[in-house]
Each structure stands twice: as structure tokens, then as C-alpha cells.
Amino acid sequence: MKFVSYKYQSKVYCGILVDDMCYSFCDFLLEFTTMNEFLQNYSQEVLVRLKSGSNKAGISIDSVEILSPIISPLQDVLCVGVNYLEHAKESATFKGEKFETRDYPVYFSKRVDEMVSPFGEIPLNGDITNMLDYEVELGVILCKDIYKPSRDEVLDSIFGYTIINDISARDLQKRYKQFYFGKSLKGSCVMGPCIVSKDEFNNEIPSLDIQCYVNGELRQNSNTRNMIFKIDFMLYELSHAMKLKSGTILSTGTPSGVGMGFNPPRFLKGGDLVECKIEKIGSLKNFVSSI
């Protein structure tokens, strides 16, 4: 199933997308007004009700504005850095560092007050940064609290998958020697267009083609099987150190081909169109503002 948030006649709804028709949770007599609320109350009974279908007519996707499925995260987005080998190499080159393989993941978080919608505008933030960059990533959404779980409990906690564009200010990353500031500028996280529930992937962690285009030019092109550290390993490791809550978003790293990886670097500028695509999930298409 594909789970969406959308605006229709100036009101925000959340629910599911079936054959290009949007159905709100209230169409199934479910009183969830946000995706966070849905995830916090998720159960097999709820899923069965959704799968049974609605006796109400849906609204065409052409008549609504698709928003990020989770508009305002309850916590910072958890992120993994340099999780594809070739990106790790280009990152080291940009920083002027010697490339070395890592035995452990690079974890950090990203402050997001409100997600940029899948077709919304990415602010250039030109008064703060001159090196705005794109990063297509597979996002993982949790539907259960986990703390020191078994391996099976980790997999059971995954609700589904989405696309994230982890917008990054490279000059701020270099200046402050850590990721949080440069990753957390307002409007620096795009998510959507939906969350695809894990049952669409036979309840297994999928291997999906992942790509990013800038102004129609293919910049990033890989598959999620190429992650250095796998999703179940990262969730297991993190949740043995901290409690991960229902609604947690894990952004799993980006392949090579980001702007800083070119010589000379090719950072985003006003008017650029960035398209992030992941197989079986969809795409994000966002213009960059001029300011």
C-alpha cells in the first residue's frame, strides 16, 4: 500500500493512494489526522481495515496537492553518512582527506521542522551557504518503539520506505567539522511522494534502483543493495544504544554523483530542477528557489 498526505480544498488529509485515487483515513472510519498519529496507533487490525477497501469514492490525485507523507517529524531525522563506497571516496576528495574504509557507520541527525513537499520548492538559502548540494536517499519509517530488540523485532518495527533528498550545505559542513548545522537549514529535507508499506516488498528489505537528476542530467545512479552498512544492521545497532520511537525516520545514505563530487564541484543554483527517483516508490521533483 502507498500512504500519502495531501491537501484538498485547503484542508490537509492523510490516507492511502490506490490506482491514482486518494482515500483519507476517515473514509475507513479511522480517526487519524496525521501520519504520525497513524504510525503511533498502527496495528494489524488497522491494516486489515484499510485493505478491505472503502465504500466512499476517492479523490483523483490530479485534484489534490501531494504533501510529504510525514509533514512534521516528531524527532530529528536519523541519518547515515558515506554509506556507499564511491560516495565515501568522493567525500574524502572534497574534504582533502585520505580515503579510508570504515569499520563503523557515520551517524548524525538532521533537524526538520517541516518537510518540503515532493513537488515543492527547495530554498537556496543563499545568505547562509554557497554550496547547496543534493543527496537522494532511501528513507525507512518505523511503526513500533524498539529498544534492545532481537533481529526479528528490528524487521518487524519497519513500516515502510520512502524517498528523501537530504539537502546539504557543504561549506557549513566543512566549517563546523560536523554535519548537523550544514544538514539542518530550513527547507533542507524533501520527502515523499508516499510511504510504501513493507508488505509490498514481501516484508523483506528491498534492493531498489536509486537515481538523481539535475535539470534532466543523470547525476546519481546506483542500487540500495550497494549500501556498506545494511538497514537491519543500522537499526539494530542504534536501537541497542537508544530507544527508537514509532514514526522514526532513518535516511540511509546517498550514492556517488553529488555536486561536491565533481571537479570543479557543481552545486545547486536558483532555478535548478532536482529529481530524485527510487524504483517502486516514485519520484520527487523540486525546483530550487532564487533566494
The closest alpha carbon to 212, from 158, 254, 261, 169, belongs to 254
Domain ranges of the chain: 2-67, 77-288
Q: Is the pLDDT of residue 104 over 80?
A: yes
Average pLDDT rounded to a whole number, residues 168-193: 96
Average pLDDT rounded to a whole number, residues 265-285: 98
Q: Is the pLDDT of residue 90 over 90?
A: no
Higher pLDDT pick, 177 / 15: 15
The closest alpha carbon to 278, from 184, 157, 194, 180, belongs to 194
pLDDT at 99: 77
CATH among 3.40.309.10, 3.40.630.30, 3.90.850.10, 3.40.50.720 for 77-288: 3.90.850.10
pLDDT at 135: 98
Q: Is the pLDDT of residue 100 over 80?
A: no
Give the Cα separation of 271 and 194 in Å (integer): 25
Average pLDDT rounded to a whole number, residues 9-21: 97
Q: How far is CA 205 from the centre of its chain?
A: 15
The closest alpha carbon to 276, from 72, 109, 172, 120, belongs to 120
pLDDT at 102: 80
| Percent of the chain whose pLDDT exceeds 90 | 90
**Contact assessment for residue 259 and residue 156, using Cβ atoms and an 8 Å cutoff:** no
Burial of 215 (0-12, 13-18, 19+ CB in 10 A): exposed
Average pLDDT rounded to a whole number, residues 139-168: 98
pLDDT at 97: 80
Lowest mean pLDDT, pick from 71-85, 97-111, 152-166, 250-264: 97-111
pTM of this structure:
0.96
| Percent of the chain whose pLDDT exceeds 70 | 100
**Cell digits of residue 276:** 530524485
Q: Is the pLDDT of residue 89 over 90?
A: no
Q: Is the pLDDT of residue 14 over 80?
A: yes
Q: Is the pLDDT of residue 93 over 90?
A: no
Q: How confident is the model at residue 34 (pLDDT cuts 50, 70, 90)?
A: very high
